[in-house]
Amino acid sequence: MEFLGQLDFVNEEASVFIDFYNNHIGYELDGESLGCGFSDEVSGKLILNVGMINVDPEAASLTINVRYPVTMDAEDVYAGIVPTADKYNFGIVKGKAEEPIFIPADDPMIETLMDIYKRQTGDMDSKPLVIGGGTYARAMDGIIAFGARFPEEPDLMHQKNERISIDSLMKMTHIYAESMYKLAAKIEIEG
């Protein structure tokens, strides 16, 4: 889009679309220039990415994926974007919205998992994280995405040659085994 912005198009609508993209999205990942640059203390900044751009002789469209802070909702995001879209006379088609999942750090399940992690690793500094990624935790209620990268290892998730060391795999196995045992025992006692 940056390259296209340097070209002169006969079609004024194409130029307007490219101008909109470059001025309000460009390389930004937090939605600030689009009007939805929200953040909160718990989950940090909103994350926005353009998944698809479709252009044909009739219209151009963007499909965007937004991971918004847990204290916000989809309507807040739409309300933030509408004034910017209106300036360009663009419409917004609301797509699928999934509410953020958030479980506080003082939840008994989080505390149990963190206690096991700390005991197994000796890492007393790491804290539970809130991430914007889509995980298996969406499969059903009461699931937490737990693991599996250690602070001392490079982050190779979803990258070429994604891998972990055998030592880390073994450490994770011990943590997961104890976690399943402890959580299952809690459910049995409380259930």
Give me the pLDDT at residue 13, please: 86
CA–CA separation, 76 and 40 (whole Å):
13
pLDDT-based confidence at residue 50 (cuts at 50, 70, 90): very high
Give me the pLDDT at residue 190, please: 66
> What would the pLDDT profile of 83-142 be if each residue is shown by its tens digit?
999 999 999 998 888 888 888 889 999 999 999 999 999 999 988 877 766 777 777 787
Give me the pLDDT at residue 52, please: 94
| Per-residue burial over 26-40, b = 16 or more CB atoms within 10 Å of its CB, e = otherwise | eeeeebbebbbebbe
Q: Is the pLDDT of residue 188 over 80?
A: no
Q: Is the pLDDT of residue 191 over 70?
A: no
Mean pLDDT value across the chain: 89
Determine which of 6-10, 61-65, 186-190 has the lowest per-residue pLDDT on average: 186-190
pTM recorded for the entire structure: 0.73
Residue 6 CB-density burial (10 A; 0-12 exposed, 13-18 middle, 19+ buried): exposed
